[in-house]
Amino acid sequence: MEVDLDLDRGTEHFGSSTRITFSCSAPGSATFLDLRAVSVETIELNGIPVDPAAVVDGRLPLADLGADNVVEVRSTMAYSRDGQGLHRSTDPADGEDYVYGHLFLDAAPTVFACFDQPDLKASYAVSVRAPQEWVVLGNGRATRTAPGQWDLSETLPLATYFVTVCAGPYVSVHDEHDGIPLGIHARRSLQRELEAHGPQMFEVTKQSFDHYHRTFDVRYPFGDYDQVFVPEFNAGAMENPGCVTFRDQMLFRGAATRQEVMQRSNTIAHEMAHMWFGDLVTMRWWDDLWLNESFAEFMAYTATSRATEFTDSWVEFGISRKQWGYAAERAPSTHPVAGSPAPDAQSALANFDGISYAKGASVLRQLVAHIGEEAFNAGVTAYLRSHEHSNGELSEFLATMEEAHGSSLADWSAAWLETAGVDVLALDRDGTLTRTTPQAHPADRSHALDVAGFDDGAEVFRTRLTLDTASATVDGVQREAALLVPNAGDLTWAQVDLDAESLAALPRELPRLDDSIARSVLWGAVLTGVYRASVDPAVALDVFTAAWPHESDDALMSRVALAFTDRLVPQFLPPEGVAGARARLANAALTTFEVAEPGSDRALVAARVLAATTTDEARLEAWVSGRSLPTELEHDSDFRWIVLQTMARLGLADEHRIAAVEADDTTLSGRLAGLAARAARPGTREKAWAWSEISGNRERSNYELNALATGFWSSGSLEDLRPYAARYVADIPRLAEWLGADALDRVATLAFPSRIVETETVALVRAAMERPDVTSGVRRSMGDELSKLEEALASRSRWS
């Protein structure tokens, strides 16, 4: 693959010339090339011109192939505004433009002509013309050969969706480790943040490289290692070999808690793990995407817990990632970890979810427990070496593991990898541990786990066991313990039901418990219990108000508070109880804030929760005006926006006030926060404006649409919001006319009428999901959000 890109043609279009050299094992046969261009100027196949009109629906037929072939295409392409393809964004802080390539999942044909499927890997030689003041980065080392002209060194074989080019007036910091040149890059307006956070990110990068080299016994193969923080990025990050891209909100411009730095560190480790799982060895087709994501997730948390300062990273995994995965398991779209049918790329996109990430990582932890870490690591190394620069699939991975382990893994794979569903574990006072398997997805899963008991904060017993039957008697259970905790070490993939005595004791006992992993399991049991209608939301609120002010882990503090403020209170409580519940959340946050050490992580989390939940107009007015601000938040623009958005929801921020705060924060983050605040205003005119922007303004970027959708449903009376449930099913599918699938699916999730917890909403959405004009991705987003709304309806039916 020889690709030449001309990025110096203005803000709308760029030039793309591609020369592909390929062989054909059956001369005389035909194939097709993928190409989605604004216009095609010339095409030649083996020196013979081809009519550009031959390109139909993104495909260029190639007929009468020889044993060796060369196809050349010269075309004009369009920059995107939805985070896919070659995305171009203007930084409002200084008016500078930035470009980055995000070709996942099937956007490569919008940048260059190609054979767009993951098992057709090729080396890439890329050249780029750009404005003279720009910097160019990509998969190969970039060399400026003339003013505005850059060549990238030829790469090792890559799948199309890993190719990237980043260009613009990026600023950089550099380092080196173990012979690997390291670079971190960001927009010019983020130079201060880049330089402040660079040393910590370099440290985690180096620690992760050392950990993976020890674990895999295969050196990083892709030369330089650049990490580029880019604007308006759809995902958290993307594992482009040698040039990883991240959403630039991770360059925190205000106060950052340890948990936030840990999450960024974990993302750095996650994308680096992909250099081996995904990049060096790529799945043959999308139905084995777990060979990418499950491994990167598992390896990242293992790396951060063992090789960095974040030895407690599995706590965050339990309360954040596993809760995401359990929700995906409860949805009708649940699927196996491996081998989920993916007839096309868009079907595959829907399965990049909490199952492929969190469940897959948890299943790999179970595999390590099943065969031992030494055999697991030996199998991983054998798989990587036998498939390097090529592709693999489930059967080939299992073969290397079976050879290392010495016995068949067929039954284990069938239960854990090839069957959907999550078991429920419960421990009673007689010491009986039960495993309940979902009826829709029966499987005989063997769980390696531990159970523990606690009294007055102290552990009174802990027993490790393997549960491979529907129930078993656990030795050593002390029935008088205040808390009985199945899966106390959070070692297996299972939802937990607490016995009645333990649930009743939580308000008293949870604040006394020192074991952060066990607290994560208990908080998770409360949340999933509410979602499954086995725990009364009022009881959960009692646990929160009693225990949350004493929570010492900032990951648990922030994630649990988010679950209560964003879902449990507004969805699961009856409308008449929401205001009182939010007041209790605010009071818990105020209590915590007042006793926390100023500037500590607890104080920062509590201040943010308080700012998001309080109705204290005097406090909000003081904070938004810059008076009496919490320590470390005196000049924090992001905190100021939290305050202003709360004021907007309460009807306390008019256009003049929003514009004034916006004038003090002329960054991309400020612009987005301003949109969210405007959409959060409760008036009927304001809601009508926000919805028209979401549903009809084709100039809005992916991030702007997300901000508007997030703000829209955060306020307003049910009477004013109810008509927008019908507008949602009518308007959102039409966005597919101009919005890419990755961005659209996110908008369909955020714009879902989650506040309208009524059977009429269920009927509207179910009818929409049957329509032929609804894309598979939007149908999946609708279905997943609908399942959450139905959980709320079931809970209200039982407990209200």
At position 217, the amino acid (one-letter code) is D
| CB distance 800 to 575 below 8 Å | no
Nearest 5°: CA angle at 270, between 265 and 272? 100
Question: Is there a contact between 196 and 210 (Cβ–Cβ < 8 Å)?
Answer: no
In this structure, the dihedral spanned by the alpha carbons of residues 130, 134, 139 and 140, taken in order and rounded to 10 degrees, is: 80
CB count within 10 Å of CB 63 equals: 12
Q: Which among 441, 416, 437 is positioned nearest to 426, based on CA atoms?
A: 437
Match 């065969």 to its residue by tokens. Answer: 371
CB under 8 Å to 147, separation ≥6 — which residues?
132
Q: Are 740 and 85 in contact (CB under 8 A)?
A: yes
Residue pointed to by tokens 């541990």 = 433
- Quick check: is 551 catalytic? no
Do residues 14 and 86 lie in contact, with contact meaning Cβ atoms separated by under 8 Å? yes
Contact 384, 276 (CB under 8 A): yes
Cα angle 576-577-578, degrees, rounded to a multiple of 5: 100
Structure tokens at 570: 């507004």
505 contacts 481 by C-beta, under 8 angstroms: no
- Which residue type sits at 56? V
Residue with tokens 């505005």, as numbered in its chain: 148
For residues 526 and 563, the answer to whether their CB atoms sit within 8 Å is no
Kindly report each contact of residues 620-628 with a partner whose C-beta sits within 8 Å and lies 24 or more positions away, as own/partner.
620/646, 620/647, 620/650, 620/652, 621/647, 621/652, 624/657, 624/661
Please count the other Cβ atoms lying within 10 Å of the Cβ belonging to residue 469: 11
Assess whether the previous peptide bond of 105 is cis (omega < 30° from 0): yes
Helices (H), 226-338: 258-273, 290-307, 313-316, 322-330
Taking every pair of C-alpha atoms in the chain, what is the biggest distance, in angstroms? 85
- Dihedral angle, C-alpha 618, 619, 625, 628, nearest 10 °: 120
Backbone angles phi, psi at 243, to 5 degrees: -150, 75
How far is the CA of 125 from the CAs of 140, 224, 778, in angstroms?
Answer: 8, 15, 36
In this structure, the strands spanning 59-62 and 97-102 are unpaired
The sheet that has 471-473: what strands, in order across it?
471-473, 432-436, 423-427, 494-497
- List 245's β-bridge partners, or say none: 228, 238
Residue found by looking up tokens 């709308």 in the block: 12
Query: Which of 436, 425, 438 shows the shortest CA–CA distance to 331?
Result: 438
What distances in angstroms separate CA 784 from CA 753, 765, 772, one per listed residue?
Answer: 12, 11, 18
For β-strands 149-152 and 225-230, DSSP reports them as unpaired
CB distance 699 to 732 below 8 Å: no
| Catalytic residue (one of 271, 293, 402, 791) | 271
> Hey, which residues are catalytic here?
271
